[in-house]
């Protein structure tokens, strides 16, 4: 079954990401498409309201080469997701909007494609990744094109009471985190990469990694994929179910979105639990089960020391932090390799009064503002 589904996963800071992205669809295919239930004719444009879970769907249709199922077959998926965002986003913070296209058909002539354009930046849908500012409103145009003609030889087998689904479900998986991600029993997907045509069995798991207290990529969680391929009867449908395990470390967590058929869903490892439960409901989809998954990381920035008059903030000063010394002057902590001295013995490195204070600090003015703290001290 080919469905083109757009899932905008703006988890963690909805106001700064989901509501500030305006998406318009341009349909350059030969068939009508639907946008959250509304039809857009070939050559037409349309928009869609982002759902409460941060997703919206566009369904794109194809036909078999013998003319059957004319403009009735949904034949692929595109997953839009955000990566690198965090709560409390400011004007100079940034995040990445990615667009990945997958398909459940192995052979298709004049295949579907397209372009994602945001604020003048354009990239093809096969692996679009555009960096945006979190503090601004962004205007995106999604253009889909192609004819999507499927060989009649791939027409579905009749679904009889003794029919069995394919033994595996085909998956497209995108790793928007900063660590490698492993499909248990399958390939490792490096940071920023997309793996296509991965085959998943009845029970599969994605091992997600993030930085932790003991080192880079030291923490892990799992996203489980359950593929039910029981015998089909007229009253029974197989299904795919996705679950996320819990993990949160100092405000950072995984966020995951997925689409299968005409359904999409998203969650975080902070909330965890089941976030997609899709039943395969027609012959085309039962012969070509597929799922498209994107995993990102919500990064919570480390707090800046709330330094005022020395020794406030000691011993957590960073390069560029400013503090008022006991002599009334304003000092700034030097950059690496001198930064560490700012947090050493006050008798030696207290700004302006320590015996070796100039190894750690420079005088900047008679007033002080701490980078990232949002206030000043005099």
Alpha carbon distance 40, 129 (integer Å): 26
DSSP 3-state of 32? coil
- DSSP assignment letter at 104: S
Quick one: tokens of 305?
A: 């020391």
Tokens 């409460």 map to which residue? 52
Q: How far is it, in rounded angstroms, from Cα 151 to Cα 162? A: 25
CA 149 – CA 219 distance, rounded (Å) = 45
Q: What is the pLDDT of residues 230-279, one digit of tens each?
A: 655 555 678 999 999 999 988 888 988 888 877 888 888 988 899 999 98
pLDDT of residue 190: 94
Query: What whole-number distance in Å separates Cα of residue 60 and Cα of residue 75?
Result: 7
Query: At 137, phi and psi to the nearest 5?
Result: -90, 135
Q: What is the mean pLDDT of residues 48-71?
A: 72
Q: What is the pLDDT of residues 144-164, one digit of tens each?
A: 888 778 888 877 766 666 677
Q: What whole-number distance in Å separates Cα of residue 35 and Cα of residue 54?
A: 15
351: exposed, middle or buried (Cβ count in 10 Å: 0-12, 13-18, 19+) = buried
Q: What digits encode the pLDDT tens for the residues 69-78?
A: 888 877 777 7
Closest CA to 241 of 198, 202, 187: 202
Give the Cα separation of 89 and 266 in Å (integer): 21
For the chain, which residues make up each domain, given as ranges? 21-298, 322-377
Are β-strands 188-189 and 94-102 bridged in parallel, bridged antiparallel, or unpaired? Answer: unpaired
State the Cα–Cα distance between residues 50 and 22, nearest whole angstrom. Answer: 9
pLDDT given for residue 129 in this prediction:
78
Convert the pLDDT of each residue in 302-336 to its tens digit. 554 445 788 888 888 888 888 888 888 889 899 88
Q: Which two tokens stand for residue 42?
A: 């070939």
């Amino acid at each position: 079954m080919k469905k083109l589904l757009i899932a905008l996963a703006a988890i963690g800071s909805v106001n700064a990401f989901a509501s500030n992205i305006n998406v318009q669809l341009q349909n350059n295919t030969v068939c009508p498409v639907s946008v959250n239930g509304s039809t857009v004719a070939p050559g037409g444009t349309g928009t869609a309201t982002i759902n409460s879970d941060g997703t919206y769907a566009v369904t794109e249709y194809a036909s078999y080469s013998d003319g059957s199922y004319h403009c009735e077959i949904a034949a692929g998926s595109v997953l839009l997701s955000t990566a690198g965002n965090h709560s409390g986003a400011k004007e100079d913070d940034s995040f990445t909007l990615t667009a990945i296209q997958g398909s459940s058909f192995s052979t298709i002539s004049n295949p579907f494609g397209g372009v994602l354009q945001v604020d003048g930046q354009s990239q093809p849908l096969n692996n679009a990744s555009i960096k945006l500012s979190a503090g601004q409103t962004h205007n995106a145009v999604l253009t889909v094109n192609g004819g999507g003609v499927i060989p009649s030889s791939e027409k579905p087998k009749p679904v009889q009471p003794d029919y069995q689904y394919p033994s595996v479900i085909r998956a497209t998986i995108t790793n928007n985190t900063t660590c490698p991600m492993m499909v248990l029993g399958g390939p490792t997907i490096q940071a920023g990469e997309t793996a296509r045509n991965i085959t998943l069995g009845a029970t599969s798991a994605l091992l997600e990694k993030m930085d932790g207290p003991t080192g880079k990529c030291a923490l892990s969680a799992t996203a489980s994929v359950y593929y039910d391929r029981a015998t089909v009867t007229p009253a029974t449908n197989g299904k795919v179910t996705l679950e996320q395990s819990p993990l949160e470390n100092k405000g950072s967590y995984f966020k995951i979105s997925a689409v299968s058929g005409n359904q999409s869903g998203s969650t975080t490892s902070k909330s965890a639990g089941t976030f997609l439960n899709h039943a395969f409901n027609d012959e085309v989809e039962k012969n070509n089960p597929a799922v498209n998954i994107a995993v990102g990381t919500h990064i919570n920035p480390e707090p800046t020391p709330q330094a005022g008059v020395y020794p406030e903030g000691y011993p957590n000063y960073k390069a560029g932090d400013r503090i008022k010394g006991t002599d009334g002057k304003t000092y700034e902590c030097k950059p690496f390799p001198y930064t560490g001295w700012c947090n050493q013995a006050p008798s030696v490195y207290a700004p302006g009064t320590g015996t070796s204070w100039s190894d750690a600090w420079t005088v900047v003015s008679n007033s002080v503002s701490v980078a990232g703290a949002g206030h000043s001290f005099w």
